Amino acid sequence: MTKPDFLDLSPEVADALAGNRAVVALESTIIAHGMPYPRNVETARAVEAIIREEGAVPATIAVLAGRLTIGLDDAALERLGQVPDVAKLSRRDLPSILARGGDGATTVAATMIAAHLAGIGIFVTGGIGGVHRGAEESFDISADLEELARTPVAVVCAGAKSILDLPKTLEYLETRGVPVIGYGTGSFPAFYSRSSGIELSQRCDDPKEAAAILRAQAALGYPGGAVIANPIPEADALPAEKMDSVIGQALREADAQGVAGKDVTPFLLGRIVEITGGKSLEANIALVKHNARIGARIAMALAG
């Protein structure tokens, strides 16, 4: 594939890809809209360090001055984490910002698109977007799900937050043929807690097994990606009942304030951190770091 001229790879990432070494993509919406400053930037750096420790190369992705940038330097991470109102970019938003210029943070969907253009097959984050509660009325279904159905990038995450309708999210992924693979678990993780109680039909128990499944999927020539659902470590998990009531409050506030469209997810994420006095943030950081370690190991297994 010829590299589009709006794509910028950092020298480290370009080198690793040219040498067929393990590279792990990371999103930037989690930095700009998923966590407060300065923990967002600290976490972004810590996650990159974990991926390096495991022998892989991290590639954080964002749009900077209208360039789709793969592999951010420290100044760029700081800017995305600090500047208020950085644009949140999903699939639909990329063409305009690349044409017009400007900065923006990429969601799971947009990060998958960029990773695939660059030739990166593994992507680590916290949680994916999904079918929102009440979607039968609002039609609010994250473009992340459709992206998973069409772009061949595997996303290592801790499932999805129960701000979403998790059964409907899994039904959607099933309909679109996206493998959802429990990593060391038979049930779908619920982000802050290890299990949503929903059984998964597929699991793997180590990086080699995950890599074998992804290789088989690639050999089948499927257009889409996969979800590797890695539960939060036991020691960092929060009680599900407690988080359900926090999430319930955040959802009621969003409704009362008429929050809609792309603002829904950032609003809920921000309120959950505030209502829990930062406890949810600690859990979020712990699970992202854990995903980084597992994702890097899977990338190493795929490259090796």
Catalytic residue among 88, 147, 161, 289: 161
* Binding interface with Mn ion (CB under 5 A): 140
Q: Quick one: 27 or 165, whose CB is closer to ligand PSU?
A: 27
Do the beta carbons of residue 278 and residue 246 sit within 8 Å?
Answer: no
Strand 23-26 vs strand 57-64: parallel, antiparallel, or unpaired? parallel
Q: For the CB of residue 63, give the shortest distance to ligand PSU in the complex, in Å.
A: 14
Question: Taking CB within 5 to 8 Å according to partner kind, which of ligand PSU, Mn ion, none is near residue 225?
Answer: none
Q: Which of residues 6-65 bind ligand PSU (CB under 6 A)?
A: 27, 29-30, 34
Q: By CB neighbour count within 10 A (0-12 exposed, 13-18 middle, 19+ buried), where does 139 fall?
A: exposed
Q: Which of residues 268-297 bind ligand PSU (CB under 6 A)?
A: 269
Rg of the chain on CA atoms, in Å: 18
* DSSP-assigned states of every residue in the chain: -PPPTTEEE-HHHHHHHHTT--EEEE-SHHHHTSS-TTHHHHHHHHHHHHHHHTT-EEEEEEEETTEEEES--HHHHHHHHHSTTPEEE-GGGHHHHHHH---EEE-HHHHHHHHHHHT--EEE-S----BBTTHHHH--B-HHHHHHHHS--EEEE-B--TTB-HHHHHHHHHHTT--EEEES-SB--BTTBS--S-B-SEEE-SHHHHHHHHHHHHHHT-SS-EEEE-PPPGGG---HHHHHHHHHHHHHHHHHTT--GGGHHHHHHHHHHHHTTTHHHHHHHHHHHHHHHHHHHHHHHHH-
27 is known as an active-site residue: yes
Residue from 71, 126, 152, 189 touching ligand PSU (CB under 6 A): that is 126
Question: Taking CB within 5 to 8 Å according to partner kind, which of Mn ion, ligand PSU, none is near residue 30?
Answer: ligand PSU
Q: Quick one: 27 or 48, whose CB is closer to ligand PSU?
A: 27
Q: For the CB of residue 34, give the shortest distance to ligand PSU in the complex, in Å.
A: 3
Residue from 151, 193, 265, 291 touching ligand PSU (CB under 6 A): that is 265
Q: Which of residues 84-123 bind ligand PSU (CB under 6 A)?
A: 90, 107-108
In the bound state, the residue with its beta carbon closest to Mn ion is 140
Q: For the CB of residue 214, give the shortest distance to Mn ion in the complex, in Å.
A: 27
Q: Quick one: 178 or 294, whose CB is closer to Mn ion?
A: 178
Using CB under 6 A, which of the segments 64-72, 112-120, 137-145, 249-257 binds ligand PSU?
Answer: 137-145
Site string for ligand PSU, 138-177 (x = CB under 6 A): ----xxx----------------x----------------
Q: For the CB of residue 192, give the shortest distance to ligand PSU in the complex, in Å.
A: 9
- Contact residues: ligand PSU, CB under 6 A: 27, 29-30, 34, 90, 107-108, 126-127, 129, 142-144, 161, 262, 265, 269
Residues acting as catalytic residues: 27, 161
